[in-house]
Structure formats: C-alpha cells, structure tokens
C-alpha cells in the first residue's frame, strides 16, 4: 500500500489514509511552507485539538503524538483533513506511570524526568508537530535524549526547582548543587555520559540554526512571512503548549 494506512469509513467500508505529515514533507519540499499556510496550520491544529479533547473526555492518553501518526486523508479532494492514528500505546490517563515512552524529540519533559503525568504529554507532542509544520524540521533533536533535553532547557528555560525535586530521573540531566534552598544545574555532556553510560552526539534540528528561544521563530526562512499578529498568536500558542513546567490543565494549554 506504499505506506498508506486503512481507516474505518462511516459507510462501513474502508478509507485509505494516503500519507503521514512526515512522509509528505519528505516527498515535497514545498509542502510545509506551501500547503501549510498560517490558516491551514490552524485547520490542522483544530482537528488535532478536537481529537485530543475527545481522548481526554474518555480518559485516554495517546502517548505517541508525532508527525508519523498524523495522516492526510486525501491530498487531492481533502488536502487539509487529517487523522490521528496508531493507538497501540494508548493508556488510561489515570494509570499513566513512569514507564510512559515517547519518541525523542516529541517527548515531554515530565517523561524524561519521570514526573507526575497526565494528558499534557499528548499536548506537548502536538505543540512539537505544529512547530514542525512552521519550520519544516523537528523543533527538538530526535537522535539523543541529552541533546533533546538540553535544547528544551536552552529554549524554554529550566523547570522550577520544586518540580525537579520530585522527579525520578532528574539526576540523569541535572546536578543538585544546593539543598536549602534546592538548586539544580544542568549537567555537562561528560557528566551525563558518566551517569548514564550513553554517549552524547552533536545537536541537530532548529538549535543548530540559532533558534535559542521560542521568540526566534522569525529567524527561520519562509517564502511568505507571517503577518506580525498571526505570528505572535502562533508563538503564544506554542509557548502555552510547550511549557517546560508541566501543570494540570485542559487543551490547548498545559497550564
């Protein structure tokens, strides 16, 4: 089927889902900056927010929200209609625990650090997807856990100290340098390697192009720049969805 997926149709027949966002972006270099305009990003975002809100309503968390699992229904007749697929990792939100796994680059900080979790891990993944649709590449490195967390901290700031105090895997990435009050410092690569036994590979993605904060999106090269108001609204939305300190909330906010 050339990588295409099958989805149930209302008629009882099957519907072919043509391709994922990742595959479409890879096949057509102009897809991200062409088809996915400001308005069209909103259309995609709305559909995904509705899907995540539905999952929240029935008490489920998808746990694997990434571009590979967002399928385009029909690029010709319905080029902006998308479906969330692959629920193999879905779990009851009330039963989420430290064994939650997400792909590096789309993994929420609470998963890295083994903090208390809720459906916000899916909202984090969606925020990363919307950033991907804006810049055309992954916002956070996908090849190395340390680099992914390092870029998060550089772009979004360090989680609050009281949050770090409660994490199960915080010491993989941070060193406690003061206890009263507590103060955590992000580890150097060699410290991470010594702690985990994992080698750190050089950064890739937006960070290597100078995107050191969410306000640097204007540094990306786009043929048709956003109007200032649209751009600011979009960045404000991403800041809410990609909040480094997880707090309980409802879509589209993580706090």
* Active site members: 64
Contact in structure between 63 and 122 (CB atoms under 8 Å): yes
Q: For residue 170, give both structure tokens.
A: 């915080």
Q: Which residue has the tokens 């994490």?
A: 167
Q: Per DSSP, what are the bridge partners of residue 120?
A: none
Q: Which residues of 9-34 are buried (b: 16+ CB within 10 A; e: fewer)?
A: eeeeeeeebbbbbbbbbeeeeebbbe
Q: Which residue has the tokens 């700031």?
A: 157
CA gap 69, 122 in Å, rounded: 12
CA gap 203, 237 in Å, rounded: 25
Q: Per DSSP, what are the bridge partners of residue 254?
A: none
Contact in structure between 141 and 203 (CB atoms under 8 Å): yes
Q: Where are the alpha helices (DSSP H) in the chain?
A: 21-27, 31-34, 38-57, 109-113, 120-135, 145-156, 161-165, 170-173, 189-196, 228-241
Q: What is the largest CA-CA distance in the chain?
A: 64
Residue 163 burial class via C-beta count within 10 angstroms: exposed 0-12, middle 13-18, buried 19 and up: buried
């Amino acid at each position: 089927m050339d990588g295409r997926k099958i989805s149930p149709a209302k008629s009882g027949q099957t519907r072919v889902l043509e391709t994922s966002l990742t595959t479409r972006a890879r096949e057509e270099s102009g897809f991200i900056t062409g088809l996915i305009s400001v308005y069209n990003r909103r259309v995609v975002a709305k559909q995904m927010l509705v899907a995540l809100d539905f999952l929240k309503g029935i008490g489920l968390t998808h746990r694997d929200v990434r571009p590979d699992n967002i399928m385009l229904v029909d690029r010709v007749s319905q080029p902006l209609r998308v479906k969330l697929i692959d629920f193999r990792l879905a779990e009851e939100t009330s039963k989420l625990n430290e064994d939650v796994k997400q792909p590096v680059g789309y993994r929420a900080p609470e998963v890295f650090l083994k903090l208390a979790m809720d459906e916000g891990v899916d909202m984090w993944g969606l925020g990363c997807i919307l950033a991907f649709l804006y810049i055309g590449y992954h916002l956070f490195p996908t090849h190395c856990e340390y680099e992914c967390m390092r870029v998060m901290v550089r772009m979004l700031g360090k989680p609050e100290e009281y949050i770090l105090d409660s994490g199960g895997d915080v010491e993989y990435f941070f060193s406690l340098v003061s206890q009263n009050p507590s103060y955590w410092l992000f580890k150097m690569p060699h410290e991470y390697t010594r702690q985990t036994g994992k080698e750190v590979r050089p950064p890739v993605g937006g960070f290597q192009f100078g995107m050191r904060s969410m306000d640097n999106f204007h540094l990306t090269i786009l043929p048709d720049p956003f109007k200032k108001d649209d751009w600011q609204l979009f960045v404000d939305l991403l800041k809410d969805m990609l909040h480094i300190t997880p707090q309980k909330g409802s879509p589209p906010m993580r706090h």
